[in-house]
Structure 1
Amino acid sequence: MTRRTVRIAMNGVTGRMGYRQHLVRSILSLQQQGGLDLGDGTTLWPEPVLVGRREHALRAMAEQHGIEHWSTDLDAVLADPSVEIYFDAQVTSAREDAVRRAIAAGKHIYCEKPTATSLDGALELARLAVAAGVKHGVVQDKLFLPGLQKLKRLVDGGFFGRILSIRGEFGYWVFEGDWQSAQRPSWNYRAEDGGGIVADMFPHWEYVMHETFSRVRTVQALATTHVPQRWDERGKPYDATADDAAYGIFQLDGGAVAQINSSWTVRVNRDELVEFQVDGTHGSAVAGLRNCRVQHRSATPKPVWNPDLPATEAFRDQWQEVPDNTEFDNGFKAQWELFLRHVVLDEPWRWDLTAGARGVQLAELGLRSSAEGRRLDVPELSL
């Protein structure tokens, strides 16, 4: 067995998502399993090079996990010819410049979303990557969740018949930071730092709808800031200038209508933090992070509206659980494996910077729709 090492500059892994999901649950997990078997007698060994601004945090992380290389000098890392891939999980406002520099250095690009703070910036990154001939990808982790993979299996199998509607509910209560610490960083609630739930979540919803159902044709959204003041990591109060809740209606190719609520100011009364209900002429499904339940038309009850009597049926008990039928790995790790195979073996890959630009486009149009109070078309993108 031949071992092929791929060195990856990982920028922004001192943050919660970059650290937990990308470094620990993906790259270090691949190392713990002995590398990625490419199936041709070669094992791919991913070697992280940690990059960031906080020297003490990088040093402590490297020591904790036995990582040899780390640096606060991004340009020096990008100048190293042994580094093949640049990964970015920084705050959104810092991502575009760093990715540009990595493309100019000839590195393959893999990054979190949104890829830029504007559609123009996102499209320019895609154009630059294509012109430079580097491979490029954007994290679209929700597609690899067990619940949504089961939902996709149902769609591909024709379970729904004609899909009529999709209703999504996402969110939870993020504490303001005064009497309990917040679960999300304070920059998420400052528009000037690239925060806002539309910028964060609409890129997710774009690829979920695009990949699972069909392309988004129109958007109508209302974005608002329900909690106008929060407290940062030092306990200092600040004005929340970014939206913390968004209510969107999307028309899809084929006629289906999607309604998705996104909120950091909602208390959870559902089985999972995100759920999608899909209704079709032949059946319905409710999918979350891990689970998916279905109700076929042959097993659909016939409720009768009668407000004078208590409900006589336990409606949730009338749904059937969709079996796993396979083993699901961590979604971030699964996509990392596909991207690494794309880089080394040139295997097919469709979640590129152009796909990332579609997410930025939908977020930009969603905010504009909210500001103008009207429904907007979502044009197809071209480089």
Structure 2
Amino acid sequence: MTRRTVRIAMNGVTGRMGYRQHLVRSVLALREQGGLDLGDGTTLWPEPVLVGRRGLALEEIAAQHGLDHWTTDLDAVLADPAVEIYFDAQVTSARVAAVERAIAAGKHVYCEKPTAPGVADAVRLARLAQQAGVRNGVVQDKLFLPGLRKLKRLVDGGFFGRVLSVRGEFGYWVFEGDWQQAQRPSWNYRAEDGGGITLDMLPHWEYVLHELFGPVTSVQALATTHIPRRWDEAGKPYPATADDAVYGIFELAGGIVAQINSSWAVRVHRDELVEFQVDGTHGSAVAGLRSCRFQHRAATPRPVWNPDQPATERFRDHWQDVPDNGVWDNGFKAQWELFLRHVTLGDPWPWDLLAGARGVHLAALALESSTQARRLPVPELPR
């Protein structure tokens, strides 16, 4: 077995997502399993080069995990011909300039979403990558969640008949930061720093809807800031200028209607932090992060509305679990493996920067819809 090393500049690994999911649970997890078997007698060995602005934090992470390479000099990393891939998990406001420099340096690019704060920059990055001939991709991790993979199995198997609607609920209570520390960074709640749940989450829902049910053709949304004052990491109060909740109705190709609520100001009364209910003529299903339950039309009870009597029907008992029928790896790691195969072997890869731009486009139209209080069409972005 031949081992091939691929050096990856990983920018933003001092952040929560960049560190936990991308460095530790993806790239380092691949190293712990002995590398990525490419199936042709070659094992791909990922060698991360940690990049960021805080040298002490990078040095600490490198020492903790036995890594040799870290730097605060992005230009030096991009000038290194041994570095093949640039990965970006920085705050959104810093992403465009760095990704543009990586493309100009001829690096293959993989980055978190949203790919840019605005549509023009998101599309421009996609076109620059295409013109440069570099392989490029955007993280679309929700597609690899066990619950949604089970849901897709039902879709692909024709279980639903004609899909009628999709209803999604996502979110949880993020503490304000005064009497309990907030679970998310304060920049998420400042519009001037690129914050806002619409820009954060609607790119996710765009690819979930697009991949499972079809492209979004129209959007009507209400974005709002429920908690106008929060406290930052230093315990200082600040005005929350970004939206912390967005309520959207989306029409999909074929007439499917999707309604998805996203909020950082909701207390969870669900089995999981995100749930999607899909209703079709032949059956329904409810999918979360890991589980998926279904009800066929032959097993659908006959509810009767009677507010004068207590409910006696245990509606949840009429649903069945979709079996695992496989081993589900970490979703971020699974997509990293596919991207590395795409870079080294040319395997198919549908989640490029243009796919990321679609998500930014939907978020922008949702915010515009909220401002104008009307439904807007979602035109297809030109490739």
Regarding TM over 0.5, the answer is yes
2: distance between equivalents of 1:67 and 1:264?
A: 36
RMSD value over aligned CA atoms? 0.4
CA distance in 1, matches of 2:195, 2:329: 30
Q: TM-score, normalised by structure 2?
A: 1.00
In structure 2, C-alpha distance between the alignment counterparts of 1:262 and 1:8, rounded to whole Å = 33
Specify the SS of the correspondent of 2:211: helix
d(CA) in 2 for partners of 1:268, 1:92? 27
TM-score, normalization by structure 1: 1.00
Please tell me the residue identity of whatever aligns with 2:262: S
Q: Deviations over 1:167-215 (max 9, x none)?
A: 0000000000000000000000000111000000000000000001100
Distance 1:13 1:210 in 2: 29
Aligned pairs for 1:55-134 (under 5 A) are 55-134=55-134
Shift of 1:372: 0.4
What aligned pairs does 1:227-376 form with structure 2 within 5 A after superposition? 227-376=227-376
Q: Give the secondary structure class of the aligned counterpart of 2:86.
A: strand
Distance 2:295 2:126 in 1: 41
Q: Deviations over 1:91-119 (max 9, x none)?
A: 00000000000000000000000000110
Q: Counterpart of 1:33? A: 33
CA distance in 2, matches of 1:330, 1:355: 22
One-letter code aligned to 1:220: Q
- AA in 2 matched with 1:242: A
Tell me which stretches of 4 or more aligned residues in structure 1 moved more than 3 Å.
none
The alpha carbon displacement at 1:246 in A equals 0.4
Equivalent-residue separation in structure 2 for 1:374 and 1:294 (angstroms): 34
Q: Distance in 2 between matches of 1:372 and 1:58?
A: 44
Write the distance in 1 (CA, Å) between the matches of 2:303 and 2:380.
42
- 1:313 Cα offset (Å): 1.0
Once the two structures are TM-superposed, the CA of residue 317 in structure 1 deviates from its matched residue by 1.2
Give per-residue Cα distances to partners, 1:265-298, cap 9 Å, x unaligned. Answer: 0000000000000000000000000000000000
| Paired position in structure 2 for 1:44 | 44
Q: Which amino acid aligns with 1:2?
A: T
In the alignment, structure 2 segments of 5+ residues that lack a partner are none
Letter in 1 for 2:111: C
Q: State yes or no: 1:218 paired with 2:225.
A: no
Q: Write the distance in 2 (CA, Å) between the matches of 1:367 and 1:191.
A: 12
User: C-alpha deviations, 1:8-67, integer Å up to 9, x for none?
Assistant: 000001000000000000000000000000111000000100000001100000000001
User: Residue 168 of structure 2: SS of its match in structure 1?
Assistant: strand
Compute the displacement of 1:166 (Å): 0.2
Matches within 5 A, 1:126-145: 126-145=126-145
- Paired amino acid for 2:233: E
Distance 2:169 2:147 in 1: 14
Distance in 2 between residues matched to 1:244 and 1:317, nearest whole Å: 35
Amino acid at match of 2:242: A
Which 5+ residue runs of structure 1 have no aligned equivalent? none
Q: Which amino acid aligns with 2:250?
A: F
